[in-house]
């Protein structure tokens, strides 16, 4: 039996944990805003949202969310100087995520240097640091998608992927680290709060919009002989599953390292399109169009995360099958344009 004094200490520690400051960068974006929504649903109170809040298309992502503070990205490090002792954890989701970005300067600033400075502040403040990497670091996938292998030989296919890989490589060379850290190679994430992403939104959102408007869906043709049209495969992960993993590591703070974050099961784009038709109760009609030339050479035909390392770290959660995730996304969110 737990002694009363021990019980109250445990209760005090738990309440303090729930109400300590949690910093989320990229807070106005797709994953960051959904993460904040679920943190609030689970009772975490003092959420610090960090971002460039000038994009009005993202405003609804944070609308009606009870935030402790909103900090503009450009003054974040100045703010840290005065608040470092009160922060429980930093969830660094912010990045320039446009995979077609051509400005090396922008990617260096937002995806590499900003991340390095945040890492250094976590060391200074003894703060756990969780950050978003990307499956784009694997490039063509010719060397597989195993997060237990060395990452030294990976060759990303675009500047975005290279920026994420550069930071991953830098992290792995650091002899001094935050008390706990974890990086996550996000695979193909879909779910609510991506309404602002336009061309970079998930294929499921594009499918919903196209099918709702025209009754049919356009998919990319294959430009490689070993793949039929629509048979390109990706590891699609529902955002609620992704956030469950992030919160598991945030709460357990064990086994620092770099992890894949997909489902471990690749599915075809045709499967995805059919799941949207089914969710909408519409007979399937699919057309195939050429991959745009500006992304054709960097287009991944297959991704599938190895999830062994994540399971070894103690994560026991199951991942939502594509059809179930699509059904929930379409019927609970897209139809009403609802948010987490």
Give the tens place of pLDDT for each residue, 177-194: 999 999 999 999 999 999
pTM: 0.92
User: Measured between alpha carbons, how far is 186 from 260 in angstroms, rounded to an integer?
Assistant: 7
Q: What is the pLDDT of residue 3?
A: 59
Domain of 186, CATH number, reads 3.40.50.720
Percent of the chain whose predicted confidence (pLDDT) is above 70: 94
Residue 100 has pLDDT above 90, yes or no: no
The whole-number average pLDDT for the span 103-127 is: 96
Residue 18 has pLDDT above 80, yes or no: no
Domain assignment present for residue 152? The answer is: yes
**Mean pLDDT of the residues in the chain:** 94
The whole-number average pLDDT for the span 58-75 is: 97
Domain assignment present for residue 210? The answer is: no
Q: Is 238 a catalytic residue?
A: no
Domain assignment present for residue 22? The answer is: yes
Domain assignment present for residue 221? The answer is: no
User: Measured between alpha carbons, how far is 37 from 31 in angstroms, rounded to an integer?
Assistant: 10
Q: What is the pLDDT of residue 4?
A: 58
Catalytic residue among 138, 160, 259, 329: 160
Residue 67 has pLDDT above 80, yes or no: yes
Domain assignment present for residue 274? The answer is: no
Q: Indicate the range of 27-31, 146-150, 168-172, 295-299 predicted with least confidence.
A: 295-299
Indicate the pairing of strand 47-51 with strand 21-25: parallel
Q: How many domains does the chain have?
A: 1
Domain assignment present for residue 207? The answer is: no
Domain assignment present for residue 160? The answer is: yes
Q: Indicate the range of 11-25, 65-79, 200-214 predicted with least confidence.
A: 11-25
Residue 17 has pLDDT above 90, yes or no: no
Q: Is 197 a catalytic residue?
A: yes
Cβ-proximal residues to 300 (8 Å cutoff; 6+ apart), any chain: 136, 138, 139, 140, 141, 157, 232, 234
Which residue pairs from 332-337 have beta carbons closer than 8 angstroms and sit at least 24 positions apart in sequence?
Answer: 332/192, 333/191, 333/192, 334/192, 334/205, 334/208, 337/195
- Do residues 130 and 181 touch, judged by C-beta distance below 8 A? yes
Q: State which residues form the domain around 155.
A: 4-190+236-264+302-320
- Candidates 173, 39, 25, 182; CA nearest to 97 is 25
Percent of the chain whose predicted confidence (pLDDT) is above 90: 88
User: Measured between alpha carbons, how far is 127 from 121 in angstroms, rounded to an integer?
Assistant: 8
The whole-number average pLDDT for the span 95-122 is: 93
Catalytic residue among 60, 197, 265, 327: 197
């Amino acid at each position: 039996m737990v002694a009363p004094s021990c019980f109250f200490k445990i209760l005090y520690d738990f309440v303090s944990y729930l109400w300590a400051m949690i910093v989320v960068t990229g807070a106005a974006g797709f994953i960051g805003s959904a993460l904040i929504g679920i943190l609030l649903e689970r009772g975490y109170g003092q959420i610090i949202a960090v971002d460039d809040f000038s994009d009005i298309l993202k405003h609804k992502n944070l609308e009606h969310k009870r935030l402790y503070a909103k900090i503009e990205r450009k003054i974040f490090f100045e703010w840290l100087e005065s608040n470092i002792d009160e922060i429980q954890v930093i969830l660094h989701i912010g990045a320039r995520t446009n995979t077609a970005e051509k400005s090396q300067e922008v990617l260096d600033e937002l995806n590499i240097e900003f991340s390095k400075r945040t890492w250094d502040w976590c060391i200074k403040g003894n703060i756990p640091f969780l950050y978003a990497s990307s499956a784009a670091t694997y490039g063509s996938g010719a060397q597989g998608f195993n997060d237990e292998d060395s990452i030294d030989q990976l060759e990303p296919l675009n500047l975005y992927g290279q920026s994420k890989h550069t930071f991953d490589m830098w992290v792995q060379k650091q002899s001094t680290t935050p008390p706990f850290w974890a990086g996550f190679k996000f695979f193909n994430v879909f779910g609510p709060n991506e309404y602002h992403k336009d061309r970079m939104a998930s294929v499921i959102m594009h499918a919903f919009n196209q099918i709702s408007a025209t009754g049919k869906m356009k998919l990319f043709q294959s430009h490689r002989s070993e793949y039929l049209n629509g048979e390109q495969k990706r590891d699609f992960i529902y955002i609620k599953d992704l956030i469950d993993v992030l919160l598991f590591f945030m709460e357990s703070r064990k086994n620092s390292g770099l992890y894949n974050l997909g489902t471990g099961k690749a599915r075809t784009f045709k499967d995805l399109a059919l799941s949207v038709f089914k969710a909408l109760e519409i007979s399937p009609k699919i057309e195939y169009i050429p991959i745009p030339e500006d992304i054709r050479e960097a287009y991944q035909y297959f991704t599938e995360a190895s999830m062994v390392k994540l399971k070894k770290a103690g994560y026991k959660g199951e991942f939502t099958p594509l059809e179930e995730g699509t059904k929930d996304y379409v019927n609970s969110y897209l139809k009403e344009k609802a948010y987490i």
